[in-house]
Structure 1
C-alpha cells in the first residue's frame, strides 16, 4: 500500500536512503553519505514523501514540487514494481516530473526511461564532482472513454 509519510517512518526512510545510495553509487566514497546523513534527515520534512508499506516501509519517493528528490526501494523488494508504483503516484500529482541521476548509475537511468523519462541535460555534481543527467517526463492526464476526454 502506498501511503503518505508519517513521522514514525523517518528511521526506516533514512535507512533506505543510506543503504540505497551506498549500493547504487559504488563510485562515490560511502563516507560521503554517512557525512550527509543528519543533514538529509533534517531536510526530509521539507519533501512530500510517499512510502510503500508492506509490513514496514519497503520503498519511498520524495518530491519537492515536481522534482523527485529521491526514490529508494529496499534491496530485498526490488524488481517487484514498487518503484514503478511510486512513480505512478507522483505522476498522479504532477503534470511534469524531473529527476537528476548520476551518469554511472545506468540501472536508474534505464528505470526512469522505462517510466517515460528522457534525458534533457548533463552536468557535474558540485559536491561529488561526478557527471549526472537531468531527466524529465511530461505526464498526460487525459483519460479517453470512447471519444470523450476527461
Structure 2
C-alpha cells in the first residue's frame, strides 16, 4: 500500500495531502537495519504487521540466547518501561554489544526459562531498533508443544 496521495482541484492545482489509513510501514520504511537473525526478523515483521507474533516465539524456541548475569551467575533482573519485571536476553552479538563489558552466558532458551525469577518476563533484544517483552508462560507452552512434536511417533 502507498503512504498516501496528493489531491488536486478541478484546475489541476495540488490542494491537500491525503493519508492512506491502511498504510503500514515495512521494517525497511521504518529505517531499521537488516535483521540480525531469524528472531530479529520475526520481531520486525510482527511489530510492523507483516508477520504473526507466533513467528517470534517459534523462532525463539529453537534459539540460544545470551543473558547478562550477576556475579553469582544468576540472570540480571531489570524493569521494562512500563514497570514489568524482565530479564534481558539477546539473540545476536549485534545487540549484546550494547551491554559493553558486562558478564553474560549463552544457553538454550529452555535452560534459561528454568532460571528466570518468578513473575519475570523476557525482554528480547532491548538494544535493537524494536524490542519485545514476552511472558515466560507463553514461551514455556511453545517449548512444550515443540518437544511434543519432535517426540511424537511417526507412522
Larger Rg: 2
TM-score, normalising length: structure 1: 0.25
Greater helix share, 1 or 2?
1
